[in-house]
Amino acid sequence: MHPLIRNTPVRLSLIALTLAALFGCEPAPSTTTETAAPTTTSAAATKPWWQDAVFYQIWPRSFADSNSDGAGDFNGIKAKLPYLADLGVDALWLTPMFEAPSYHGYDFTEFYAVEQDYGTLMDFKSLVADAKAKNIRIILDLVINHISDQHVWFKQSAAGVEPYKDYFIWRKDLPTEGWGPAWDKTKTDPKAVWHYNAQRQEYYYAAFGASQPDLNLKHPDVVQEMKNMAKFWLETGVAGFRLDAVRYAIENGPGEQADTAETIAYWKDFSSYVRSLQPDVMLVGEAWADLPVAATYYGEGQALDAGFDFEFGYKVLELLQSQGGVKAEFGTMQQQTSDKGELLQANYAARASAGAPMGYFSPFLTNHDQPRLGWQLQGNQAKAKLAAAMLLSSPGSTYMYYGEEIGMTQASDAEHIQRRAPMLWQNVPQAGFTSAAKSWVESADLFPPQQGTQWWQPFLQSQLNKKLTVAEQQTDAKSLWSLYKYLIGQKHQRPEFGVAGTYQATPLADGKLLQIVRELNGSRSVLLLNLSDEAQEIPETILKDRKLQPGWIETEASDQLPAWQVRTWQN
């Protein structure tokens, strides 16, 4: 959501102007004991398609380059569909893929045209069709809260041209008090959200910076335009949307810049409309807040279908390192503390009492707006395996960030661009991401004000030297990638891993062990995680239970679990 602006002219397509006028690699060998897939129950057969699904978040610019221009694209993603199907994912979340002046795309200049760097609309539709053929759905990142200041709507609004004059929120004077960052009520700084426009000689509201003005979602024409956009993309075959910054749709003044009643009402209306077009559409909201706040966007079943559990990733990191996860940047997290051994159970209890069904909450580790999990764990692959076990044993629709399955890290956290670097596919130049001499992260002139590009090659070589690519991990039956594939398979095959299954995360051995038990109708899975630097005795209750059969075993079976390892059993 940062305004890193490309220093080339804005590319406005004719279609946008017209519509504005009209509408205003090989799998690893198995290391596990095969278990038969339990019979699907009638309840499971009728549940929403996204319930208990595994979503894979892709940053299109960094996933795979098909035409050797150094930037990822739709055809690159399409070429990797066999990989994604083999891994076992059910759906892809593509971060913004509409035309935009920035590298990140969260500042659209178009609603109906794809980012030219990614290909054509036909390329995109082909990707959707090929993904569907492999039973993989695609959801798009939809930004409704704000658009680019280079969008034709904002230019017309700044000029006072009807009907665009009030498409944004304007005022004649800069407020002197009360206003501040939308996600932090403790800070007062009107200039953080109110920005002067010399042409109109007024101030406009933009929660995410001057280049991304907030739309006036009280204006009936704007409300309809957003519905038109959703309809257009649903007709291309997408299965739903990840809705960006849902907390900030409608602000009512100081202290009411987030989570207003009008905002909830807006999402209820939007949801009702898209469901009238496509009953099985899925809407997941980015409400970067504590669970009770995030739950309000369920709207008693009338608003969103799902919301991210931002708390979960912080709890996982707290268990794996002393300081916990990096704090929220675009959200409001109170980071409630509890006994360290009880963190995951407390998180589960918080979901249960937050005011939305358990299936509403979607756990994840990190995303594009956060430092990569691998970086926060200092590249420790053993700890990354424990994080994977915690993630995929947690109830709900699971989200993975691309590269998380191989423990991708980053050079530093000096710039957000480093959180979104190219995927590491194989041990060749540019890691197989592109056949071009340079990848897009090495183009400082394309996306200023990037501070430098020299970080990429040293970082890339260090990762290749450590053999952390997809191809190399696929040949290692004990790799992080192999564990992810195994756990995704368990989530699909074992009914207890669904929302309906019970969940119990229990600290043992003074918190050095964590036992996670999932159970449903007699089908039971046990995961044991060693959260310490020393081997720990496996509890007798597990060893003497003859019904439990070993699943994932990383080292030779014994009565001890080595440091920072996970072992699983199923009946």
Positions marked catalytic:
244, 286
Instruction: Please name the residue ranges forming H helices in 377-434.
Output: 381-392
User: Residue type for 304, please?
Assistant: L
Under 8 Å between Cβ of 372 and 405 = no
d(CA 418, CA 94): 18
- Whole-angstrom Cα distance, residue 224 to residue 299? 21
Distances from the Cα of 168 to the Cαs of 130, 147, 164, 217, 545, in angstroms? Answer: 39, 10, 8, 8, 64
CA distance 94 to 71: 15
Helix spans in 369-496 (H): 373-376, 381-392, 456-465, 470-474, 480-493
Q: Which residues, including other chains, have CB under 8 Å from residue 101's CB and lie 6 or more apart?
A: 5, 6, 8, 10, 107, 109, 148, 150
Given the structure tokens 């221009």, which residue do they identify?
Answer: 69
* Strands 513-520 and 502-508, sheet pairing: antiparallel
Structure tokens at 75: 């055809």
Residues 6 or more apart in contact with residue 178 via CB below 8 angstroms? 188, 190, 253, 254, 255
Is the distance from CB of 43 to CB of 274 less than 8 angstroms? no
Report the candidate in 380, 289, 389 with the shortest Cα–Cα distance to residue 329.
289
Instruction: Take residue 541 and report the two structure tokens written for it.
Output: 């209750």
3-state secondary structure of 195: strand
**CA angle in degrees (0–180, nearest 5) for 564-565-566:** 135
CA neighbor of 5 nearest in space, from 96, 130, 107? 107
User: Cα–Cα distances in Å, from 81 out to 27, 30, 55, 132, 557?
Assistant: 14, 21, 13, 10, 35
Beta pairing class for 361-363 and 306-309: parallel
